[in-house]
Structure 1
């Protein structure tokens, strides 16, 4: 299996991580799309559209 031009394979964990990071940026910018924008794990998970457990896994930060 070869990597795409970006150099990474789009595994579910990487897609989830990218979604969480994008959600963090939207919340910090004050432009939430899927949540109330509160600085909480629940709002971040809702904004990223993932269950709360991947948000609590801080090993990827």
Structure 2
């Protein structure tokens, strides 16, 4: 079950990060863009964590 939770949180963070990046780019706000980039990376890590849990049977 942890696999799906991590993957879904990861997808949500990636999506939110992409929105922040687009907003930062559109308004020329480097801080918002950077926050979006960091949030997108966080989402990618969460998804990877979910994939590892899935491969290991949620034993981690």
Structure with bigger helix share is 2
How would you bin the TM-score normalised by the shorter chain?
0.3 to 0.5
TM-score by length of 1: 0.41
TM-score by length of 2: 0.42
Larger radius of gyration, structure 1 or 2? 2
